[in-house]
Amino acid sequence: MLSSAPGNTQSERQAFYARIGASHLTPLWEVLHSLVPQSPRSPCATVGWHYDEVRPYLMEAGRLIGAKEAERRVLIFENPALRGHSCLTQTLYAGLQLLLPGEVAPSHRHTQSALRLVLEGEGAYTAVDGERTVMRPGDFIITPSMTWHDHGNPGDQPVVWLDGLDIPLLRFLDAGFAEKYPDDTHPVTRPEGDANARFGGNLAPMDYTPPRVGASPIFNYPYAQTRETLTKVSRGASVDPHHGHGLRFLNPTTGAAPIPTIGACVQLLPPGFKGRPYRATDSRIFCCLEGEGRIDTDDWSFEFAARDVFTVPSWIAHRLSSPSEAVVFSFSERPVQQALGLWREERIA
Ligand code: GTQ
């Protein structure tokens, strides 16, 4: 189309673009196909980090700054194709947070929702709106939008967890609000385990009606329970050729994702599992919890072991496999896409 243009048209057009550019105008026809692609073409890269490589840096950060001064001592995983943007996918942020013995990460709240996946150490707690929960390796913990939260480590070991937040999504929407609690720790108003007692036993308080859009009242999904479920499911259910034994975490009062903006899954890949290629429009961040395995796309592969973090952007076909047995946690903005009727998947034979 452009090549059939008369001789001087190209230079006339360039001059025209320059003139209208001064009025902050630009022609659609030069960008139409990247604005409205035939299928998603994420700018994000596929990328992974081995925990063994990152951990020494995190411990070094522990010597350089205290949790109180930092407010949150986190090393952010940055997508190499989006350096400087503090994000791993277009919608999600991920990082490793370290809390040393005796430290407190002071109470605050914000509109961004967070999830934690505990990776190392025992003895720390996280508090959500006045209820504390002990953090144990593998526990999946949520901090819903605008809930007060502080983290403390009264134990004697460094505690490390993976943070996942919808920071880039809220930045895109310009919907960020935050405030600090006047004290470092929020008063404890409910006993530990209260939320799981009230909402975790296939029961709910008699008059409870879930909000139309809201987070799960359960804020710790203990790994002991998740692992037991995976073990039992793997004995009974036939294995999904793409996902292995894949389960998603629920808000038990609605069946929706635990956080409106973030869905989370856990997969058990049985020994010798060789997953078929799969792609979906949500960009997914994975963290291996147990065992080891491998992820392959057409032009990238990554061998992972426990605590390694990796990501696959929207619409990139990938295969998961494991020689022995692996448990893999993952999260993405899938509930956002589903709420808007945008989510698609393709199971490739
Ligand atoms: O623990 O509250 O990784 O506010 C980034 C922002 C963690 C947190 C992060 C946060 C937090």
In a domain, 168, yes or no: yes
Domain-embedded: residue 175: yes
At residue 204, what is the residue type?
A: A
Q: How far apart are CA 76 and CA 163, in angstroms?
A: 9
The per-residue pLDDT for 176 is: 98
- Which H helix or E strand runs over 51? helix 51-64
Tell me the three state secondary structure of residue 220.
strand
**Spatial distance between the Cα atoms of 167 and 285, rounded to a whole number of angstroms:** 14
Is 241 in a helix, a strand, or coil? coil
* 142: DSSP letter: E
What pLDDT digit, counting tens, does each position of 239-289 carry? Answer: 999 999 999 999 999 999 999 999 999 999 999 999 999 999 999 999 999
Query: What is the reported pLDDT for 5?
Result: 57
Report the half-sphere exposure of 249 (CA within 13 A, side-chain side): 32
What's the pLDDT score for residue 7?
A: 63
At 4 the pLDDT is: 54
Both 72 and 106 in one domain: the answer is yes
Percent of the chain at pLDDT > 70 equals 98
How high is the pLDDT of residue 87? 98
Q: Which of 153, 79, 81, 72 is nearest to 114 (CA)?
A: 72
Atom nearest to 74 CA in ligand 1: 3
Taking the C-alpha atoms of residue 65 and residue 317, their distance in angstroms, rounded to an integer, is: 40
Residues facing residue 279 across a β-bridge: 346
Residues 21 and 127 occupy one common structural domain: no
Average pLDDT over residues 231-245: 95
Q: What's the angle, vertex CA 91, arms to CA 75 and CA 171, rounded to 5?
A: 85
The predicted pLDDT at position 322 comes to 98
Q: What is the position in ligand 1's atom list of the atom closest to the CA of 178?
A: 4
Return the best residue to mutate from 75, 88, 96, 97 for the ligand 1 pocket (most ligand atoms within 8 A of CB). Answer: 97
Q: Rounded to the nearest whole angstrom, what is the distance from the C-alpha of residue 1 to the centroid of ligand 1?
A: 50
pTM for this structure? 0.96
Q: How confident is the model at residue 104 (pLDDT cuts 50, 70, 90)?
A: very high
Q: Assign 226 to helix, strand or coil.
A: helix
Q: Confidence band (pLDDT; 50, 70, 90) for 236?
A: confident
Q: In this predicted model, what pLDDT tens digit does every residue of 286-318 receive, in sequence order?
A: 999 999 999 999 999 999 999 999 999 999 999
Q: Span 131-155, mean pLDDT?
A: 98
Domain holding 83: CATH number? 2.60.120.10
Q: Looking at residue 105, what is its pLDDT?
A: 97
162-216: per-residue pLDDT in tens?
999 999 999 999 999 999 999 999 999 999 999 999 999 999 999 999 999 999 9
pLDDT of residue 232: 97
Q: Residue 102 contacts by C-beta under 8 Å, 6 or more apart in sequence? A: 153, 154
Residues 25, 75 within the same domain: no
- Residue 88 Cα to ligand 1 midpoint, Å, equals 15
Q: Determine the residue of 71, 73, 74 to mutate for testing ligand 1's pocket, defined as the one with the most ligand atoms within 8 A of the Cβ atom.
A: 74
41 CA distance to ligand 1 middle (Å): 29
- Do 26 and 100 share a structural domain? no
Average pLDDT over residues 123-145: 98
Pocket of ligand 1 (CB under 6 A): 72, 74, 95, 97, 110, 114, 149, 163, 165
Instruction: Tell me: do 32 and 60 sit in the same domain.
Output: no
Q: For residue 97, which atom of ligand 1 is closest to its CA?
A: 3
Strand 104-110 relative to strand 178-180, pairing: antiparallel
**What distance in Å separates the CA atoms of residue 193 and residue 165, rounded to the nearest whole number?**
24
Q: Does residue 1 form part of some domain? A: no
The closest residue, in CA terms, to atom 6 on ligand 1 is: 72
Is 301 inside a domain boundary? yes
Within a domain: residue 2? no
Distance CA 112, CA 61 (A): 24
| Same domain, yes or no: 150 and 280 | yes
12 & 58 share domain:
no
The pLDDT value recorded for residue 237 is 77
Sign of the Cα pseudo-torsion (69, 75, 76, 78, in order): positive
* C-alpha 166 to ligand 1 mean position (Å): 10
Question: Which residue's alpha carbon is nearest to atom 1 within ligand 1?
Answer: 72
Give, in degrees to the nearest 5, the angle at Cα 47 between 42 and 49.
Answer: 150
| Spacing, Cα 93 to ligand 1 middle (Å) | 10
Q: Are residues 112 and 181 in the same domain?
A: yes
Q: For residue 203, what are the CA distances in angstroms to 106, 189, 196, 200, 207?
A: 33, 22, 10, 7, 11
Question: At residue 144, what are phi and psi to the nearest 5 degrees?
Answer: -65, 160
pLDDT band at residue 233 under the 50/70/90 scheme: very high
pLDDT the model gives residue 3: 53
The number of distinct structural domains making up the chain is: 2
Nearest to 320 by CA among 242, 220, 223: 242
State which residues form the domain around 31. 8-38
* Residue 27 within a domain: yes
Is residue 247 within 8 Å of 269, Cβ to Cβ? Answer: no
Tokens standing for residue 87:
């994000």
Say whether both 207 and 276 belong to one domain.
Answer: yes
Residue 19 and residue 168 in one domain: no
Verify that 160 and 14 share a domain, yes or no.
no
Average pLDDT, the chain: 97
Question: Does residue 55 sit within a domain?
Answer: yes
pLDDT in tens, 55-93: 999 999 999 999 999 999 999 999 999 999 999 999 999
Show the 3-state SS of 270-282.
CCCEECCCEEECC
Angle at 77 between CA 67 and CA 66, to 5 degrees: 10
Task: Establish if 340 belongs to a structural domain.
Answer: yes
Q: Per-residue pLDDT averaged across 17-34, rounded?
A: 97
Indicate if 187 and 61 belong to the same structural domain.
Answer: yes
Tell me which of 58, 72, 167, 170 to substitute to probe ligand 1's pocket, judged by most ligand atoms within 8 Å of the beta carbon.
72
